[in-house]
């Protein structure tokens, strides 16, 4: 069978399984998730054996230490994977919730009710834990899914998917509720992205080039974020201690993630006082600073180019700009940013409200680190990704974001006049 | 200026106007809508004069009577346009509503708040009232919009947009909140669909070929329905009187619209009794019937082909199929339908619940005509379209569907551990 037929068949089976899954009671889904967590733990040795094959291949291909670290599965990591399945099992499932009901003057009861979306395609890179996280969230929310992991993790992913599926079907989940694409042929992704007849949404997780390619090629709606160019803006009245603490956390606690700060905006009124001590601590933390001309007059740093304002470094690098007003800061964020996560530090009530209202981002903060943009931190228990799309879902996304709704109308013979 | 630059400039201005519009208080938007309604009425003569130019061109091009009827603006139609602007003005505006708030253990207040989407592109065909409906709904929900009407209505549309804009800016709405593309060059649509940098969503309204082209070409998310292949299923216990009344209404009250029934499914248990009287009334109403082989054994009708089950006739034609079970009916609807509006007629509680749960459509009915799928009937006051997409919005869509949300987080110095 060629790749196109193979992928099409998988998608067709996923759609069929979706309709079957709607007949499975909620408690069966929860029980199978708990059983899956158990089976992951009891098969840890086999998973690690399969994972070693991937690690060996990756080493032979000369992958970096960071890459090997992301790929590696240890007993502790398998334990924490199982734990996250248990968390998903315990979350409230939004499917079937009535969002609102309107009674038509003629007596029709028109209710808006949460429903699963359908078939979810998940395309991701090296971390094998995405296999289990995504499959659990989809199963809990009664969606079926097609998983396409990176070829470098194929043995690990196939082992995890096999445990997930064997256990799920034993517990009464229909076959093909979770399918892993087993070919590592690169054209499989291209074929998948054409199947809008069967697949309802694509959620990609990985580097910018992967996401950009998927946005570009897909005929299926894509939910993702391309960039995380996040800002922290120190307003004129910003407190030094709070600014220092939040800037250090937003930039350096974990610089390689999408909700880390990339650009610091500072009001001209406080820049001479705040910038020197903040710059000092950042430099001590190993951070490279790139500043606008006014910044360079206050602290020692490299010049920032126009390009810098658009850049997600994902590294210990920070661009700094001094602005003359909150309006300039908001304009900068809306113009150069990626509409992901942006914060203001201020004790001025009017300014905080203005910032929250006018910054057009998925998550906007007052007096907190942008590092909180995360499904778990937002009380969702887990996340399947973070969206900077405007439609359907913005920000960290989990079970509720994996649902749509339908209008359910109950009548007793009404016709339209 | 070439078309590409012209359209790009319009889109850039729409994005700028969007940010300005966020600073306009709600009462200014409501007041300008009321003023616009007034001005439409007082300029009725001029609008009719401009509309006559379009009518003359359309007549010279040999357009049908139905086409000319859709295009024509009469004093009464202008009156009803103004009335619908007043209704939109009076609707509750969802922007700023808090959907939910979660308090993090560390004290962060994480709220999900309704926001306008941004720039809405609306592409539509002959009816000039869409100009005013769409502009009003977008203004009320603080979105800016780019309108692209059919070339056959260009004089009418430009006149309506001029009155809308002149009045709005006098009332304090920023310029370019509503822009009409004035060129009738067909390439303008193609250029518009590329501008995902500025335009957040495309809502097309018109025939299937227009919608299909837009889904195909657009780099911007599209909200629409391609087809309305709606079903009514008469379960074994269906009451004759209710079935007759609902079938006649769903098929013949207005056959040319998307929520009219195209296929009747009948359980084999009631077909011999229900089909003859229903067929008789349908035929008396001028309806052509096309049946499956089992239907043809009970009533006189043409044979239905496989093609018929997929077809939206938008005309006085009905396909009829006898099914052996509710499962077969549900399978037929999910497989051949367009996931728009589908109904069951039954007094069996379990069967009604099964149908509502398993039919995967935007709107599902028990004991009512599918003709109710409409924003006004659903208590939304108006509609900007009907969506059969799975993501963002399903079914009739108005102000709430024109919003997204953002997460607003208020802290007092929280950093991530």
CA distance A379 to chain B (A): 7
Residue A368 near residue A346 (C-beta atoms within 8 A): no
- Reported as type and span, the H/E element at residue B277 is helix B271-284
The separation between the first and the last C-alpha atoms of chain A, rounded to the nearest angstrom, is: 55
**Inter-chain residue contact B363 with A413, CB threshold 8 Å:** no
Q: Tell me if residue B355 falls in helix, strand or coil.
A: helix
Partners of residue A356 in chain B, C-beta under 8 Å: 408, 410
Assess contact for B59 and B72: CB atoms under 8 A.
Answer: no
For B:47-76, CB contacts with A below 8 A are none
CA nearest to A207, candidates A219, A225, A189, A190: A225
Which of A334, A367, A411 lies nearest to residue B412, judging by beta carbons?
A367
Mean pLDDT value across residues B134-143: 97
Q: Pull the structure tokens for residue B327.
A: 């499962």
pLDDT category, B186, cuts 50, 70, 90?
confident
Which residues of chain A make contact with B250, given a CB cutoff of 8 A? 415
Alpha helices in B285-348 (DSSP H): 293-298, 306-309, 326-336
Task: Read off the pLDDT of residues B324-339 as tens digits, 9 standing for 90 and up.
Answer: 999 999 999 999 999 9
CB contact under 8 A, A102 and B378: yes
CB contact (8 A) between residue A415 and residue B245: yes
> To the nearest whole percent, how much of chain B has pLDDT over 90?
95
Provide the pLDDT for residue B142. Answer: 97
At A44-74, the pLDDT tens digits run 999 999 999 999 999 999 999 888 998 999 9
Question: Of the candidates B30, B28, B141, which has an alpha carbon nearest to the alpha carbon of residue B95?
Answer: B141
What pLDDT, on a 0 to 100 scale, did the predictor assign at position B269?
98
Q: How confident is the model at residue A287, as a pLDDT?
A: 98
Closest CA to B263 of B247, B245, B243: B247
Partners of residue B23 in chain A, C-beta under 8 Å = 358
B391/A392 Cβ within 8 A: yes
Rounded to whole angstroms, the Cα distance separating B387 from A112 reads: 14
Q: Taken in order B412, A370, A340, A405, is the CA torsion positive or negative?
A: negative
* Closest to B237 measured CA to CA, from B368, B367, B333, B371: B367
**For testing contact with chain A, the best of B227, B343, B376, B406 (most A CBs within 10 A):** B406
- B391 with A245: Cβ contact below 8 A: no
| pLDDT of A393 | 97
> Which residue in the set B22, B371, B404 is minimally distant from A390, CB to CB?
B404
pLDDT at B317 over 90: yes
Residues of chain A where predicted confidence (pLDDT) is lower than 70: none
The ipTM of this complex is 0.94
Beta bridge partners of A146: A121, A179
Contact B367 A110 (CB under 8 A): no
Q: Mark yes or no for CB contact B372/A407 under 8 Å.
A: no
Where does A171-285 have alpha helices with state H? 187-192, 208-217, 240-252, 271-284
Q: Beta strand B395-397 with B385-387: parallel, antiparallel or unpaired?
A: antiparallel
Q: Nearest residue of B to residue A341 by CA position?
A: B407
Residue B389 with chain A: CB contacts under 8 Å: 221
Give the chain B residue whose CA is nearest to the CA of A240: B413
| Cβ pairs A/B, distance under 8 A | 191
A262 Cα to chain B: minimum distance (Å): 16
**Dihedral, CA of residue A148, residue A153, residue A156 and residue A160, to nearest 10:** -20
The pLDDT, as a whole number, for residue A50 is 98
pLDDT at residue A28, as a whole number: 97
What part of B 314-373 touches A (C-beta under 8 Å)?
334, 352, 356-358, 360-369, 371-373
Q: Do B406 and A361 touch (CB under 8 A)?
A: yes
Q: What is the mean pLDDT of residues B402-406?
A: 97
Ordered DSSP codes for A101-140: EEE-TTS-EEEEEEEE-SEEEEEE-S-THHHHHHHHHHHH
The end-to-end CA distance of chain B, in Å, is: 55
Q: Does A378 sit within 8 Å of B415, measured CB to CB?
A: no
At A381 the pLDDT is 87
**For position A78, what pLDDT does the model report?**
97
Can you state the angle between helices B44-60 and B154-170, rounded to 10 degrees?
160
Q: For residue B392, give the nearest of A373, A392, A412 by CB distance.
A: A392
- Closest-CA residue of A relative to B370 is A415
CB distance B161 to B128 below 8 Å? no
Determine the length of chain A: 417
Among B residues 114-133, those touching chain A with beta carbons less than 8 Å apart: 117-118
pLDDT digits (tens, 9 = 90+) for B229-238: 999 999 999 9
A372 contacts B104? CB cut-off 8 A? yes
Instruction: Say whether pTM exceeds 0.90.
Output: yes
Contact yes or no for A200 and B364 at CB 8 A:
no
Q: Do B411 and A365 touch (CB under 8 A)?
A: yes
- Least CB–CB distance from B22: residue in A200, A357, A409: A357
Beta-carbon separation of A409 and B242 below 8 A: no
Q: Does A416 touch chain B (CB under 8 A)?
A: yes
Q: Which residues of A touch B194 (CB under 8 A)?
A: none
Are A17 and A174 in contact by the 8 Å Cβ rule? The answer is: yes
Task: Compute the nearest-CA separation of A243 from chain B (Å).
Answer: 8
Identify the pLDDT of residue A362.
Answer: 98
Q: Which member of A22, A223, A378 has the closest CB to residue B102? A: A378
Instruction: For chain A, positions 249-308, list CB contacts with chain B under 8 A.
Output: 249-250, 253
Region of A247 on the Ramachandran plot (φ > 0 left; ψ -120 to 50 alpha; else beta): alpha
Asked if A104's CB is within 8 angstroms of B406's CB, the reply is: no
User: Are A200 and B391 an interchain contact pair (Cβ–Cβ within 8 Å)?
Assistant: yes
Q: Which residue has the tokens 């054994």?
A: B297
Look at residue A206 and give its three-state secondary structure: coil
DSSP E strands, B168-297: 178-180, 201-205, 230-234, 261-267, 288-291
What span, in angstroms and rounded, lies between the C-alpha atoms of B278 and B283?
A: 9
Cross-chain CB nearest to A408 (options B356, B404, B415): B356
Distance CA B374, CA B393 (A): 14
Is there a contact between B267 and B326 (Cβ–Cβ < 8 Å)? yes
Q: In sequence order, what are the residues at sequence separation of 6 or more whose Cβ sits closer than 8 angstroms to the Cβ of residue B348?
A: B235, B236, B237
Average pLDDT, chain B: 96
- Backbone φ and ψ of B379, nearest 5°: 80, 15
pLDDT at A120: 98
Interchain contact, B245 vs A413, CB within 8 Å? yes
SS3 state of residue B384: coil
Residue A192 CB burial class (10 angstroms; 0-12, 13-18, ≥19): buried
C-alpha–C-alpha distance, residues A207 and A255, integer Å: 15
């Amino acid at each position: 069978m060629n790749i196109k037929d193979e992928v099409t068949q998988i998608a067709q089976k996923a759609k069929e399984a979706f309709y079957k899954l709607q007949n499975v009671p909620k408690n069966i889904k929860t029980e199978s998730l708990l059983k899956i967590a158990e089976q992951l733990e009891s098969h840890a040795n086999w998973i690690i054996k399969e994972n070693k094959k991937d690690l060996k291949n990756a080493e032979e291909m000369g992958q970096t230490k960071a890459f090997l670290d992301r790929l590696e599965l240890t007993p502790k990591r398998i334990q924490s994977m199982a734990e996250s399945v248990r968390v998903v099992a315990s979350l409230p499932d939004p499917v079937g919730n009535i969002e609102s009901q309107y009674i038509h003057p003629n007596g029709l009861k028109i209710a808006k009710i949460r429903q699963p979306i359908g078939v979810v395609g998940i395309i991701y890179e090296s971390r094998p834990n995405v296999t289990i996280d995504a499959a659990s969230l989809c199963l809990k929310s009664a969606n079926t899914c097609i998983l396409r992991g990176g070829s470098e993790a194929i043995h690990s992913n196939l082992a995890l998917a096999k445990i997930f599926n064997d256990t799920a079907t034993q517990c009464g989940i229909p076959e093909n509720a979770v399918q892993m694409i087993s070919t590592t042929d690169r054209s499989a992704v291209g074929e998948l992205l054409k199947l809008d007849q069967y697949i309802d949404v694509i959620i990609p997780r990985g580097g910018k080039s992967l996401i950009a390619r998927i946005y570009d090629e897909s005929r299926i709606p894509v939910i993702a974020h391309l960039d995380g160019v996040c800002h922290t803006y120190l307003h004129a009245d910003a407190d030094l201690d709070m600014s220092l603490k939040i800037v250090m956390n937003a930039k350096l606690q974990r610089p390689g993630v999408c909700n880390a700060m990339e650009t610091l905006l500072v009001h001209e009124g406080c820049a001479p006082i705040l910038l020197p001590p903040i710059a000092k601590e950042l430099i001590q933390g190993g951070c490279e600073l790139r500043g606008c001309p006014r910044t360079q007059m206050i602290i020692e740093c490299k010049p920032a180019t126009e390009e810098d304002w658009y850049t997600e470094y994902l590294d210990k690098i920070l661009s700094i700009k001094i602005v003359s007003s909150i309006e300039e800061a908001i304009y900068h964020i809306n113009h150069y940013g990626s509409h992901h996560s942006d914060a203001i530090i201020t004790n001025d009530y009017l300014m905080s409200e203005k910032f929250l209202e006018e910054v057009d981002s998925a998550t906007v903060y007052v007096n907190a680190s942008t590092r909180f943009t995360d499904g778990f931190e937002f009380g969702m228990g887990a996340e399947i990704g973070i969206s900077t799309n405007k439609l359907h879902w913005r920000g960290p996304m989990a079970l509720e974001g994996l649902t749509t709704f339908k209008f359910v109308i109950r009548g007793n013979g009404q016709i339209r006049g």
